[in-house]
Amino acid sequence: MAKEKKQKIRRPRAQTPRGFADFFGADVLARDAMLAKITEVYHRYGFAALESPLVETVEALGKFLPDVDRPNEGVFAWEDDGDWVALRYDLTAPLARVVAQHRNDLPSPYRRYAVGPVFRNEKPGPGRFRQFYQCDADTVGSASPAADAEICAMLCDALEAAGIARGDYVLRLNNRKVLDGMLESVGAHLVHRPGSGPSVSKALETASSTVDRDGILRTIDKFDKVGRDGVFELLTKGRLDASGAFVDGVGLDDKKANLVLDFLTARGSDNTQTLERLSSAVGRTSKGAEGVKELGQIAELLDSMGFGPDRIVIDPSIVRGLGYYTGPVYEAELTFEILDEQGRPRQFGSVAGGGRYDDLVKRFTGQDVPATGVSIGVDRLLAALKARQTNGVAASGPVVVTVMDRDRMPGYLAMASELRAAGIRAEVYLGNPRNFGNQLKYADRRSSPIAVIEGDAERAQGVVVLKDLALGAALAAEIESNADWKAHPAQTTVPRAALVSGVKQLLARER
Identity of the residue numbered 256: K
CB of 246 to its own copies, least distance (A): 35
CB 401 within 8 Å of CB 426:
yes
Under rule CB under 8 A, residue 21 binds its own copies = yes
Q: Which is nearer to its own copies, 188 or 318 (CB)?
A: 188
List of residues 6+ apart from 13 with CB closer than 8 A: none
CB of 97 to its own copies, least distance (A): 5
Measure Cα distances from 60 to 63, 96, 112, 192, 356 in Å: 9, 9, 19, 22, 21
Q: What is the size of the binding site for its own copies (CB under 8 A)?
A: 112
Single residue of 158, 173, 381, 400 touching its own copies by CB under 8 A: 400
Under rule CB under 8 A, residue 175 binds its own copies = no
Cβ neighbourhood burial of 98 (10 Å; 0-12, 13-18, 19+): buried
Q: Which is nearer to its own copies, 137 or 260 (CB)?
A: 137
Under rule CB under 8 A, residue 343 binds its own copies = no
CB of 334 to its own copies, least distance (A): 23
Single residue of 34, 38, 65, 77 touching its own copies by CB under 8 A: 77
Q: Residue 180's closest CA among 312, 83, 278, 282?
A: 282
Q: Residue 294's closest CA among 193, 404, 108, 144?
A: 144
Single residue of 414, 473, 498, 507 touching its own copies by CB under 8 A: 414
CB of 33 to its own copies, least distance (A): 11
List of residues 6+ apart from 286 with CB closer than 8 A: 181
Site for its own copies in 112-151 (CB under 8 A): 117, 119, 121, 130-131, 139, 141-142, 144, 146-147, 149-150
Single residue of 70, 108, 435, 478 touching its own copies by CB under 8 A: 108
Under rule CB under 8 A, residue 405 binds its own copies = no
CB of 184 to its own copies, least distance (A): 17
Q: Which is nearer to its own copies, 137 or 252 (CB)?
A: 137
Under rule CB under 8 A, residue 203 binds its own copies = no
Single residue of 23, 214, 253, 478 touching its own copies by CB under 8 A: 23
Q: Which is nearer to its own copies, 95 or 281 (CB)?
A: 95
List of residues 6+ apart from 180 with CB closer than 8 A: 189, 190, 285, 287, 288, 291
Residues 270-299 as x/- pattern, contact with its own copies by CB under 8 A: ------------------------------
Single residue of 366, 460, 489, 511 touching its own copies by CB under 8 A: 366
Q: Which residues of 245-258 are buried (b: 16+ CB within 10 A; e: fewer)?
A: eeeebbebeeebbe
Single residue of 78, 218, 240, 462 touching its own copies by CB under 8 A: 78
CB 165 within 8 Å of CB 320:
no
Residue 493 CA to residue 193 CA, distance in Å, equals 77
Single residue of 52, 209, 236, 317 touching its own copies by CB under 8 A: 52
Single residue of 226, 383, 413, 490 touching its own copies by CB under 8 A: 413
CB of 134 to its own copies, least distance (A): 14
List of residues 6+ apart from 162 with CB closer than 8 A: 34, 37, 38, 381, 385
| Coil, helix or strand at residue 59 | helix
Under rule CB under 8 A, residue 3 binds its own copies = no
What pairs with residue 305 in β-bridges?
none
Under rule CB under 8 A, residue 24 binds its own copies = yes
Site for its own copies in 213-242 (CB under 8 A): none
CB of 10 to its own copies, least distance (A): 10
List of residues 6+ apart from 34 with CB closer than 8 A: 162, 163, 378, 381, 382, 385, 391
What pairs with residue 116 in β-bridges?
134
